[in-house]
Amino acid sequence: MTGTGSAPWWQGASVYQIYPRSFADADGDGVGDLTGLDHHLDHVADLGVDAIWMSPVFRSPMADNGYDVSEYCDIDPVFGDLATFDTLVAAAHGRGLRVLLDWVPNHTSAEHPWFVDSRSSRDSVRRDWYYWRGGDPATPPNNWRSNFGGPAWTWDDTTEQWYLHLFLPQQPDLNWNNPEVQVAMHETLRFWLDRGVDGFRMDVVHLIGKDPALPDVPERLVDRHIAGWYDDPRTHPLLRGIRSVLDEYPGDRVSIGEVNLRDPRRLAGYYGDGDELHLVFTFRGMDLGWDAAGWARLIDEVGRDLPAQAWPAWVLGNHDEKRVRTRLGSLRRAEVLTLLALTLRGATFIYAGDELGLADADVATDRRVDVVGRDGCRAPLPWLREPPHGWTGATPWLPFPPDPQQHSAEAQTAEPTSTWHLYRDILAARRVSPALRLGATTRRDAPAGVLAFQRRFGDETRTVVVNFNDSAVNVPLSEPQVRLVDTSRAPGGTTYDDVVAAESAVLLCPAHPPPLHGELDLHESAPGVGEA
């Protein structure tokens, strides 16, 4: 599989996030599944990413679409079973794709046998696996609010106490202060590591450490989403424990932390001394939008404030946010930010469907599923132009995104100037370039509204110029350059004439020596298929 020299594969990796319910449906029940995913793995491999990450596929009552796990060591029947999972992993590995799961450590489902046991009696041996507190049934034990609204506490009549849930009442928080919880959760990691998975995205992992006193939060923070600012030092030893489990295994198994803090100075601590998370999402890129100065600041802060050896994880979209095209109100701009995110130092995460140029689906009130309105970005992927768009059988669980005539896999792969081909070209250029995968970043002076930087690894350099302005700009560079990719669709291999079109980004390489064959003949380079 892909990697540059002895560097772990994940450092400059591109990861494709799949929302399994919405990717592809093989059994015709209107909900995506693992066999459907398997049937469409060539789409992913052709795109040229290094890895897939699947949102949770564990057993779940689906109160939060799988982020409420009732059994960590099994596959939910809606997605398949352990045999289909093993088949999928083998098929992905056979195509040079790593496989990442989405581990949910902060909370289980209320239907998890651990919680069922815990809530059964104050004397349960698992009582202390969750946070139970007594008191008056009318007054929650503290002022914490759930990230989904309302108090973070639910009164349980069986034992007449409150339990804590930072998300839905169906998602009680695990008490990681209890060493038995740590051991049990470590075992769930080993279960999947033993089956050959390459790592985990770790759901709101910064929330797992808690002061057992559960003190009130300051009044000014009460109405802010707790996941957006919570940063308790007790999480760090727990992360070191989790990391030591991954380190028991060969093959650079990776941990990617969903840490919803925005300031890189606060993200820095989650890398520890290289002994906590391998990668931590840099979510601020999703807040920024179309803002040259904001991106310049963020790139500088990440370069300055993360530990020198730390690798950022860039992300423009996921299953919780409006799609990047919808947020920016422009496919052209979304493509520009994609070139930017895929040429920055670090791993980059692509949300499935963004490569088709999808916008959010318009979900009528009577078809809404999610408690906090995240359905639009979770709509099924249209594989074919014509209805039912490759989803034969029951009507899919959500309506399709708009315009499958243009924005389906069939249409996008057929049209050489499509978003799909642009993604593919950027990923191909990245895959063969040590500078883009691993190189250091130097920002270059640039005119107002323009962001320019160079990546360098050894003697190899790549330059990126992003023009946020609505008119073309002149950005002369010190040496002659050739375009590898230009979002305005100027062909790869053409000489860079110092001009970047309006709302466009270019990826350049020095004209001398000429680019490698593989960089210009982008479509011939497969994603490391068959490499060891």
Please state, in angstroms and rounded to a whole number, the distance separating the CA atoms of residues 144 and 155: 14
φ and ψ of 75, to 5 deg = -100, 140
Tell me the sheet residues that pair with 320: none
Could you give the count of Cα atoms lying within 13 Å of 341 in the half-sphere of its Cβ? Answer: 30
Give whichever of 317 and 510 is closer to ligand NOJ, judged by the CB atom: 317
Give whichever of 18 and 26 is closer to ligand NOJ, judged by the CB atom: 18
Please state, in angstroms and rounded to a whole number, the distance separating the CA atoms of residues 192 and 13: 21
The single residue listed with the structure tokens 């339990």 is 163
Give whichever of 117 and 370 is closer to ligand NOJ, judged by the CB atom: 370
Q: Residue 101 CB, nearest distance to ligand NOJ (Å)?
A: 14
> According to the binding rule CB under 6 A, does residue 54 interact with ligand NOJ?
no
Tell me the sheet residues that pair with 510: 481
> According to the binding rule CB under 6 A, does residue 18 interact with ligand NOJ?
no
Using CB under 6 A as the binding rule, the residues of this chain from 75 to 104 that contact ligand NOJ are 104
Instruction: Give how many residues touch ligand NOJ by CB under 6 A.
Output: 9
Report H helices in 362-433.
409-414, 419-431
Q: Residue 17 CB, nearest distance to ligand NOJ (Å)?
A: 10
Give whichever of 352 and 422 is closer to ligand NOJ, judged by the CB atom: 352
> According to the binding rule CB under 6 A, does residue 375 interact with ligand NOJ?
no
Give whichever of 111 and 320 is closer to ligand NOJ, judged by the CB atom: 320
Active site residue 187: no
Which one of residues 203, 355, 375, 486 is an interface residue with ligand NOJ (CB under 6 A)?
Answer: 203
Q: Residue 104 CB, nearest distance to ligand NOJ (Å)?
A: 6
The DSSP result for 231-292, as a single string, is --TTHHHHHHHHHHHHHTSSS--EEEE------HHHHHGGGTTTTS-SEEEETHHHHH-S-H
Please state, in angstroms and rounded to a whole number, the distance separating the CA atoms of residues 89 and 111: 28
The single residue listed with the structure tokens 């999703």 is 286
Which one of residues 9, 16, 67, 420 is an interface residue with ligand NOJ (CB under 6 A)?
Answer: 67
C-beta of residue 493 within 8 angstroms of C-beta of residue 481:
no
Using CB under 6 A as the binding rule, the residues of this chain from 152 to 191 that contact ligand NOJ are 167
Of these residues, 68, 198, 203, 258, which one is catalytic?
203
Q: Residue 64 CB, nearest distance to ligand NOJ (Å)?
A: 5
Q: Which of 290, 325, 332 is nearest to 417 (CA)?
A: 332
How long, in residues, is the chain?
532
Q: Residue 210 CB, nearest distance to ligand NOJ (Å)?
A: 16
Which one of residues 204, 280, 363, 411 is an interface residue with ligand NOJ (CB under 6 A)?
Answer: 204
Tell me the sheet residues that pair with 30: none
Burial of 410 (0-12, 13-18, 19+ CB in 10 A): middle
Q: Residue 80 CB, nearest distance to ligand NOJ (Å)?
A: 21
Q: Which of 490, 499, 467 is nearest to 333 (CA)?
A: 467
The single residue listed with the structure tokens 């931590």 is 280
Give whichever of 33 and 64 is closer to ligand NOJ, judged by the CB atom: 64
Give whichever of 204 and 485 is closer to ligand NOJ, judged by the CB atom: 204
Write b or e for each residue in 35-49: b if 16 or more Cβ atoms lie within 10 A of its Cβ, otherwise e: bbbbbbbebbbbbbb
> According to the binding rule CB under 6 A, does residue 111 interact with ligand NOJ?
no
Residue number of the CB atom closest to ligand NOJ? 67
Q: Residue 258 CB, nearest distance to ligand NOJ (Å)?
A: 6
Burial of 184 (0-12, 13-18, 19+ CB in 10 A): middle
Of these residues, 180, 216, 232, 248, which one is catalytic?
248
Using CB under 6 A as the binding rule, the residues of this chain from 233 to 262 that contact ligand NOJ are 258
Furthest-apart CA pair in the chain: how many Å? 75
C-beta of residue 249 within 8 angstroms of C-beta of residue 193:
yes
Going residue by residue from 297 to 336, which x/- string records binding to ligand NOJ, judged by CB under 6 A?
----------------------xx----------------
Give whichever of 222 and 372 is closer to ligand NOJ, judged by the CB atom: 372
> According to the binding rule CB under 6 A, does residue 64 interact with ligand NOJ?
yes
Q: Residue 527 CB, nearest distance to ligand NOJ (Å)?
A: 26
Q: Which of 502, 511, 510 is nearest to 447 (CA)?
A: 502
Q: Residue 254 CB, nearest distance to ligand NOJ (Å)?
A: 18
Active site residue 386: no
Which amino acid, one-letter code, is at 484? L
> According to the binding rule CB under 6 A, does residue 72 interact with ligand NOJ?
no
Give whichever of 322 and 444 is closer to ligand NOJ, judged by the CB atom: 322
> According to the binding rule CB under 6 A, does residue 391 interact with ligand NOJ?
no
- The residues annotated with a catalytic role in the active site are 203, 248
Contacting positions for ligand NOJ (CB under 6 A): 64, 67, 104, 167, 203-204, 258, 319-320
